[in-house]
Amino acid sequence: MSRQSHEIFLPGLLGPWPTTFRPLFKQLFASKPTIYNTTNTLLSSRSPQSPASDIDAEIFTRFLPQSPTPPHAQVRWQVDKQLIPSKKNTLPAFCADPVSMQAEMHGARVHDSNILQLSDHEAQQLSTDFNATFGDDGYHWALINNRGYLFLTETVDLQTQSLADATSSDILEWGFAGKDSSLYQKYATEWQMWLYQHPINQARQQQKLPAISAIWLWGEGQLPTVNTCNYQQIINGSEYSPPIALQGLAEHFSVPIVSSNALDSLSQKNTFIIDESLSYPAQALEPEQWFSALEGIFNEVLQPLITQKANFAITVPNQYRFVGNHGFLKFFKRSQNGDIISASEWR
């Protein structure tokens, strides 16, 4: 039997903050050169010119490496389909998320890569009215947990851009492509006008809430018919809920997601381990919280694997990969007998 392999995915480890984060880190740990040198090496490992990476896209490369277009809509739908029984056995063509746009002199920008937050009443009323207006044209819009889906009665040739890619860019740079692009650009404009005039949107504007400017279509692609992947188990190493893409892929491939307690006694299964606890302090430029989270990952994720002499690799966004006890782990101080000392013992 081949030895099991475990992959640890650590978003936020190398981060896109070399010019702003490192000075804060240096100031905080100026009196602790071992800690500073270790983390500075990690932070320096990432090129400042490398683009920020979408966590969901990275997850797709692990679970669907052969998929040319990650099927975000159909994967995400695996999580939400139980809430709309009438559409349970139907697959959406696109994610269709409500977004707010910021008008500019010569165009407009998507205000935020996060999906616009709507109340249950707003979502229900908008989707009901949309389907009553455009249903005869073959469009059905579903809004669940602030995530939107567009169902079609016919197959279309349309390539889109993800909401994350389009954030803070002029939307004119992110037009549709494909044979049906002109038709859908026309419909997108009609939907914008419909949203602008809708009573829900007018009420939001009066309450000084962000306007629902558009329905952003993205995430086309087909789920694979083969229901097997490289992993038999997913371990969530942090207190945060796993990304929606990972939840959907787990549902599709029937791979259980378990808590970090499973790390204490790993089964003979290939395991995908994710820990997002570094992402949030990295985004907020909080070096002390970031290092505290790194300590937690070492003690609660890496140390159990090392103790069990497990075969594992560490990956981070933008395809950086540290295998086994080399690369990443060489930056941790070792005792004379070769055991790795917890970072908390450096202080």
pLDDT of 145 > 50? The answer is: yes
**Global pTM value:** 0.80
How much is the pLDDT for 299? 79
Q: Which of 4-18, 289-303, 314-328 has the lowest mean pLDDT?
A: 314-328
Mean pLDDT of the chain: 77
Q: For residue 95, what is the enclosing H or E element?
A: strand 94-99
| Percentage above 70 pLDDT, the chain | 71
- Inform me whether the pLDDT recorded for 18 exceeds 80: no
pLDDT score at 297: 83
Number of helices (H) and strands (E), helices first, in the chain?
A: 12, 12
The answer to whether residue 335 scores a pLDDT higher than 50 is: no
- The answer to whether residues 169 and 109 touch, using CB atoms and an 8 Å cutoff, is yes
Residue 245: CA atoms inside 13 Å, Cβ hemisphere, count?
Answer: 18
- pLDDT of the residue at 47: 44
pLDDT at 329: 45
pLDDT above 90 for 109: no
- pLDDT tens for 87-105 read 877 899 999 999 887 665 5
How many of the other CB atoms lie within 10 Å of CB of 83?
A: 11
pLDDT number for residue 139: 94
Q: What is the pLDDT of residues 204-220, one digit of tens each?
A: 989 988 888 889 999 99
Which pLDDT score, from 0 to 100, does residue 67 have?
Answer: 76
Residue 150 pLDDT greater than 80, yes or no: yes
Can you tell me the distance from the alpha carbon of 175 to that of 185, in angstroms, rounded to the nearest whole number? 8
- 80 closest CA partner among 104, 97, 100: 97
Residues 6+ apart with CB under 8 A from 72: 56, 95, 162, 218, 219, 221, 245
- pLDDT on residue 105: 57
The three-point CA angle 58-165-140 to 5° equals 95
Q: Highest mean pLDDT: which of 54-58, 171-175, 257-261?
A: 257-261
Q: What is the pLDDT of residues 119-136, one digit of tens each?
A: 999 999 999 999 999 999
Q: What mean pLDDT comes out for the span 270-291? A: 82
Q: Is a pLDDT exceeding 50 seen at residue 2?
A: no
Position 339 pLDDT exceeds 60: no
